[in-house]
Structure formats: structure tokens, C-alpha cells
Chains A and B, each alone.
Chain A
Amino acid sequence: MLKYTLKRFVMMIATILIIATLTFVLMHSIPGSPFNEERTTNEAIQENLERFYKLDQPLPVQYAYYLKSIVTFDFGPSIKKPNESVNELLARGFPISFELGMTTILVAVISGILLGTFAALRHNGVIDYAAMTFAVFGISIPNFVLATLLIQKLAVDWNILPPATWSSPLHMILPVAALATGPMAIIARLTRSSMLEVLTQDYIKMARAKGLSPFRIIARHALRNALMPVVTIMGTMLAGILTGTFVIEKIFAIPGMGKYFVESINNRDYPVIMGTTVFYSSFLVFMLFLVDIVYGFLDPRIKLHKKEGEA
């Protein structure tokens, strides 16, 4: 297991490095720079600025500095807001984005699994049809459309919930609902189909033959097996939710990372772009690692396989 974890760790680092490099290349291949806007700056000042941010150096040197900043996790000050460092920006924005993202994942996973399970248990019944119709809508409506619809109806027309910002649990309902519906629908459909399949398995029949209660059969024998495909798609789903937070934050005026991220690209604020990208990709890669561990926990066959691979 240790060897496996180590191997995964090295792969994680490599992945992050590749993403960082790609970001660097892309960032420098889009035209424009942080300084050449219409407003003409004094040339001396501009040169000073470029020297300060090391933009006067050749790209390979910049790349080396960039790598150093990744290793030390210090991206220096923002170009557009020189009195604030990238790290401070992350420290301010990320907790909010994290809260939005995690709440969304929790809501999507829990309600998706429940919905899918009940649909499977009432296969071809009213609950099943209702849940699956809902799921089709959930999957096909993009989160930003759903967000505007929710704001229009629940906040503006009926005045039940606050339309924007992130200042109380009540404020969280609409953005989380907008962001969680899609993933929840996908999870519900996946849980339902895999649950239906699991319920026809011999070991479920055997559990029945043991005289176990239906609840125990579902909770102990069926669910764990049915959740494996759900765990498999959690990786891509996490990435989807992560990018979704940028959009949703913008719509609901939530002061998370999304705002800074989008602004930084528009402004060619290199340190901020680099910092956020590296930070987010590390975060995502780490989450994928966690997903893998959860998967191994759910399916003992995988754990063994890896153990055998060690020897």
C-alpha cells in the first residue's frame, strides 16, 4: 500500500507540473501583456515594473522562476493589485469557493443517491418515473440557466429567498441548488441503474434467503456495490463542479475565487493566473486521489490487486 501511495504521489506531482507548464505556455502565447493597455505608461516606469515582475527576462528564465514559485508556493504580488499577494487572494477567496463546492457535492451526492435508490426500489412505479423525469431535466438544463430561473422565480417574483451574495445559510440555497442539480441528476440516474442491476444479483437473493430485513439488504448488501460506478464518475464530476463554481459565483455575486480567476485572465495578471491554476489543479488532483482511495475502500478486490502488485 505504501509503495502504491508513493507511486500515486509522484504521479500527482507530475500531473501538476504538466498542468503548470501548459498554463505557462498558454498564458504567454495569448497576445497582450499586463501593461500594454490604452493608457500609456511612462516607459521608465513600465521597464521598472517589468523588471520587478521579471517580465524582461527570457521565457525559460521566467519559467524557472515560475517553477520556483510553485515549489515554495509563493506567487508574489498580483500585478493589478500590487498591495495584495496571490496567496492572500487565495486565502480570501478559496474558503468561500470551497464552501460552495463542498456543500454542492454533499447535496448532490446524498440526494442523488437517495433519489436513485428509491427510484430503483420502486422500479417502474410513480416515484421512479417522477425521479427520472426530474433527472432528465436536471441533466439537460445548464446551471447558469437554472440559476437565472431560480433567481427570477424564488427571489424576484415570490421573494422567498435572497437573490445573491453569500452572507447566511439562507443565501446558500439558490446557488447550491443551481450548481447541485445537474450532478445530482447524473448521480441519481447512475445509482438507479446500477442499483437495479445489483438487485438482480445472486448475493442479494442469498441475503433474502438469510431472512434479512429489506433495509439491511439495501443498506449493507446492495448500496455499497451499487455505488461503485458513482464513485468512478466522482472525479469528472468534481472537475465539473469546480468550474461550475466560477460561473455560479459570478451570477450570484459570491466573493469566491471565481471572480479573481476570470479577472486575472482578462488582465493577464500572470502571478494570479499561475497561482490559482496551480492551486486548483493541485486541489483537484488531490481530490481524485481521495476518490481512488474511497473506491479501494468500497471494493476490496481493488485493494488486494494493488497489494499483489506491490510484492
Chain B
Amino acid sequence: MKLSLFLAALGLVLTSCGAPRAQETRLKDVIEAGPAQRENASRAKEPHAQSDSEAPAPKPAPQAPPPAWLGARETRSGAGAYLVRWRTEPAEIPMNDEFSLRAWVFAADAPDVVLRDVELVIDAAMPDHGHGMARAPKFVKRDDGSIEAQGMLFHMPGRWELYFDVSKDELTERAQVHVELE
């Protein structure tokens, strides 16, 4: 199923693409992207998926698949230098069950270019209880510049704070949000 979608997308890309060079990057992007993006890529090829414009363009220009951070939750670092976008899997943080969290860092004044030259550490705690997570999540760097924290666990109900510490050149700024678990 996934494969056929992928092949269909490939076919569309091949027949509708103009510049061969651009096509090369497109294919590479599609191949490197995860299954979700592959699906997005194929959906983007459906005529009315992207725009509501009345007259269909004679030959739609190839579009990059939407970045995985699109529609993710956003939080700004304390001193305002960074924007952190993040999403969890599952989308709603479960009470006392493992989840993963993927985050992208942007300069606040360029919120569509993922910063790759910063260090990001993700952590969480329950300040009211004076404890952190019972786990030390595993961090995986993804090709699109995001960091995925695997094996996160919020093992108790109540107020959790999520910390994104962004460091560059010995300077660290923290972006912070809280999550209320029932």
C-alpha cells in the first residue's frame, strides 16, 4: 500500500517535473522522508489538495513536501532568540505511558529554516513534587534537523514542565511549556 502510493508519487513527479536537477532533489527528499512525509508528498500531487484556485494551472510546478514541523506546537525561548516547534507521538501525551517527542529549533526571526548548528536538550519535571522524569530519554538526530526524544514518560498525573534547552556558543536559552495530566 505504502509502496504503491510512493510509486504513484514518483510517477507523477517524473511526468510533471520540469528541470531534471530539481527533480533529483525532489526524489532524494521523498526517499529520505519518513512514511508520513511520503504520504504527504503523494497527497500534494492530488490536484486540489494544495490550493483552491479556480483555473487549474496547466502544468503545476513541483512543490516540496510540507515540512514535518508544519502544524507542530510552538514555544519561544525565554530571551526570545529561538522558536521551538514540537510534536509528540501519540499526539496527546499519555498518562504513565511512553511517548516520543520530536522538536525543531528555529531562529525567532527566521521561523522557516530549521537550525542545525544548535544543541538541543529536552527534559521534563514536576516542580510541585520536586522530581524529574523517571527516564533518561534516548535522543535521535533526524535528517531534517530535528531531535527525537524516545522513551519519554510522565508517570504521574499533575503539572509537568517540558524544557527545551537550546545552546549555541556556550549560551543556553530555555523554552518551556507546561502540560497538565489528569
Bound together = no
